[in-house]
Amino acid sequence: MNQNKILFERSQKVIPGGVNSPVRAFKSVGGTPIFFKKGLGSRLWDEEGREYIDYINSWGPMILGHAHPEVLKAVQSASFDSLSFGAPTARELEMAEVLVKLVPSIEQVRLVSSGTEATMSAIRVARGFTKRDTLVKFEGCYHGHADALLVKAGSGLLTFGEPSSAGVPADVAKHTLTLPYNDEEALNALFKEKGDTLAAVIIEPVVGNMNLIIPHMSFLKMLRELCTKHGAVLIFDEVMTGFRVALGGAQSLYGVIPDLTTLGKVIGGGLPVGAFGGRRDIMQCLAPIGPVYQAGTLSGNPAAVAAGLATLKLVQAPHFYEELTAKTKLLVEGLMKAAHTFNIKFSAQSVGGMFGLYFSEKAPSSFDEIMKSNREAFNQFFHHMLTSGFYFGPSAFEAGFVSHAHSDEDIRRTVAAAQAFFQVLK
């Protein structure tokens, strides 16, 4: 019997759904999830020893590829001194200094252990700073699993949100408003109606959680102007895009500066690290000097920070992001050319080292548009590529990732396998 099936059957007895994060279950695409045991560079190997070219990269962190020797050396060195102190270390100070130096909007920063912690804490400090309760988020954006963020749109444009998960109290959800992404008219109407009551607006400046959606520049600029005018805190969730699309994140790419930024994934180099930071006057609201409480026993964990520091040092190499962007464009352009050879309704786009694949005529720019794509065709594509040795995200609603370790030959092989699928699909 297939080793992955054996492990999945065992897992379902002791782990809900057999997985520790829902998208891993292959529920969207069908089939049995793959259990991995090794990664190196652009490659993964499963428990049966089968090799794959990886386009998930642990959902973004492995920007250097798997098991980079300098990152492993840094983690090993830190681990010999102790895995945790629960007290200040020079490494976490160094990490804070690097983040302040590299991210345009960050004047002060606090380290945490996950992206969810970062966004949850950023929202709390924004509410404490403004002394307001209402949060605005955008349909299709994911900011972690804190109660206030698991909210879907209400029945009307300006209605308060409704819980999108069991266990989220309606009294919590009512403080969150949800708007359509890239919709300037809806954004303007909301601020006209409720602007002076809003504590914060949180947004993925490049969306990666309903597949890759690129923002309209006029939309982002309007958002910045409205938040400034009405005194609402603008939070950029760059947990995914930070150090993934550019050295200074999406904010440096688009020149729109938020009040607070949340980070994760790449800054941990594959280990659990998150951070939130921004304007000094807002961050000064945090305990122990301010009234907003936030804490974490393992925040600034020495081994995790060592992995992050080694990663952040390497991504600052000359032309790193130009090369990563070029590799990613080579992939998406190759896939589009292959699909169009057979007149398949397919589109793709990329920003830095992130990409999106859609079985639709043009790349979507909103949640409604992505929902109209051909998900069944994507599911067939996913399984064809998996069987052929290429590991893409097991959902039509997730962005993909290229690492610096991917070679032109990796991409050529990927495009060739996809072309074989497009030919059969036709």
pTM: 0.96
Domains of the chain are 3-67+318-425 (3.90.1150.10), 69-315 (3.40.640.10)
Q: What is the DSSP letter of 148?
A: G
Contacts of 207 (CB under 8 A, 6+ apart): 138, 140, 141, 181, 213, 214, 215, 399
Contacts of 288 (CB under 8 A, 6+ apart): none
Indicate the SS3 state at residue 237: strand
- Checking 157-162 for CB contacts under 8 A at 24+ apart, the result is 157/186, 157/189, 157/190, 158/189, 158/190, 158/193, 158/194
Provide the residue type at 29 as one letter. Answer: V
Catalytic residues: 142, 237, 265
Please tell me the distance from the alpha carbon of residue 97 to that of residue 93, in angstroms, as a whole number. 6
Q: What string of pLDDT tens digits covers the 426 residues of the chain?
A: 699 999 999 999 999 999 999 889 898 899 999 999 999 999 999 999 999 999 999 999 999 999 999 999 999 999 999 999 999 999 999 999 999 999 989 999 999 999 999 999 999 999 999 999 999 999 989 999 888 888 875 544 444 566 788 888 888 888 999 999 999 999 999 999 999 999 999 999 999 999 999 999 999 999 999 999 999 999 999 999 999 999 999 999 999 999 999 999 999 999 999 999 999 999 999 999 999 999 999 999 999 999 999 999 999 999 999 999 999 999 999 999 999 999 999 999 999 999 999 999 999 999 999 999 999 999 999 999 999 999 999 999 999 999 999 999 999 999 999 999 999 988
Cis amide leading into 205 (omega within 30): no
User: Where are any strands of DSSP class E within 284-370?
Assistant: 347-351, 354-358
